[in-house]
Structure 1
Amino acid sequence: MKLDHLVWASNSLEDAAAEFERLSGVMAGSGGRHLTIGSRNALASLENEAYLAIDGPDPLQELAANYGAFLANLASPMLWRFAVQTPDLAPARGVLARHGFETSVKPGSRTTSGGRLLEWYTLTVAGHDLDLGMPIIKTWRTDGHPSSEAPGGCRLISLIVSHPRATDLKRLYEELDVPVGVVEHPVASLTAVIEGRFGRFTLPAARRSTRAPKALR
């Protein structure tokens, strides 16, 4: 299990990408569109086959009760989720089952700006109450990791999950072998420290106050 990407969610992809460039000195490259869920993104490599996905609503798709609608209603950019990748989802499903979580495997895809289709499988975890503390667990179905095509110049220094159930989350991460730190805090949030061309900075992360549609958690 290794870190795959961070999701910086925003109500405007252009504005969030401009803010990231101001902080890092790196202009994120076009990622592509998530068809059927109303979003699109821009990517920046974080080294070690990891990347930052800046997500925003896609004006060419319908924004109604989907991820794009959720993004459009955000007041400001926020570090919303993080994803880990594994070559086999079965062990993770077993760990989550032992913790009482019901899971299913869901296919996903994104069409890059160059027209290439990227495909993956993710674990959908039903009815959990860990909010952004629950990682996106995925396995890639297509060759070529997106980080290899994303603009470089940034490196992830640390990712920390603040959470009111830090003890439970630490135990879950240890069993899943998720390489992310956890600290106790009454409000769940993610904090990423990144080193860019202008030095180190903390990616702005609003405290979690907006619920995503159930299908997207």
Structure 2
Amino acid sequence: MIDHLVYAGPDLEAAAKSAESIIGVRSVEGGRHVGFGTANRLIGLGPSTYLEIIGPDPSQPAPAFERPFGIDALEAPRLVAWAVAVDDIEAARKLVEFAGIGPPVEMTRRTPTGDLLRWRLTPPVPGSMPFLIDWLDTPHPAGQLEQVAKLVDLRIEDTDPGEVRKVVRALNVNVSTRKAWEPRIAATIDLPDRRVVLW
């Protein structure tokens, strides 16, 4: 199932305002990714799904390597990645290894209340392929978020949607795919009074 969407930008606060203006829901502070030079804010999209808004963390020194999700090259905020929740990340990765999805790494971050979150994920690959995430013994972050918005459709556009289709079939994930000039992600989100699309 879809775990979360990644909305990244060159400035975290500007990215948060952009997402909030489209969705109409305030984001909440997530935490800092120490050593990666990033921090995030979150918006709930369902009981087990959320939007991660990520950007540079001005309180950290710039890392010696590029920040994840191509953040350093972005000129404006946009959807850049999506994650699929799995219970056994090693077994799931073997199903999609053909798509260049690499071995998982473990990460942590502290919430604003001091709780330690721990998870394993496969490094995101460029384009529109998902990455995999296993929250281990950590309660899912969406459980702490206001449930006003709901993700109802995710469309993955790619120059070669056939490869994406193979991956989503292997993982049994319900998304739509379409051929396009460049990889793009479109999320259709329902609110109590309207429907919006976040790119």
Give the TM-score normalised by the residue count of structure 1.
Answer: 0.83
Hey, what does 2:91 align to over in structure 1? 91
- Runs of 5+ unmatched residues, structure 2: none
Quote how far apart the aligned CAs of 1:96 are.
2.5
CA distance in 1, matches of 2:95, 2:181: 26
Evaluate the alpha carbon distance shift between residue 92 and residue 62 of structure 1 in structure 2; reply closer, same or farther with a 3 A threshold. same
Q: 1:186 aligns with which of 165, 181, 186?
A: 181
Question: What are the within-5 Å matches in structure 2 for residues 1-217 of structure 1?
Answer: 2-64=1-63, 65-67=65-67, 70-97=70-97, 99=98, 101=100, 103-124=102-123, 131-197=126-192, 199-203=194-198, 205=199
- Runs of 5+ unmatched residues, structure 1: 206-217
8 Å Cα contact 2:18-2:77 kept in structure 1: no
Quote how far apart the aligned CAs of 1:150 are.
1.9
Evaluate the alpha carbon distance shift between residue 100 and residue 174 of structure 1 in structure 2; reply closer, same or farther with a 3 A threshold. closer
Higher alpha-carbon deviation: 62-71 or 103-112: 62-71
State the 4+ residue runs in structure 1 displaced beyond 4 angstroms. Answer: none
Identity among equivalent positions (%) equals: 28
8 Å Cα contact 2:111-2:117 kept in structure 1: yes
Higher alpha-carbon deviation: 154-163 or 194-203: 194-203
8 Å Cα contact 1:156-1:195 kept in structure 2: yes
CA distance in 1, matches of 2:36, 2:66: 5
CA distance in 1, matches of 2:185, 2:75: 17
Aligned-residue Cα RMSD (Å) equals 2.1
CA distance in 2, matches of 1:80, 1:48: 22
AA aligned to 2:187 is A
CA distance in 2, matches of 1:13, 1:201: 21
Aligned length: 198
Give the TM-score normalised by the residue count of structure 2.
Answer: 0.90
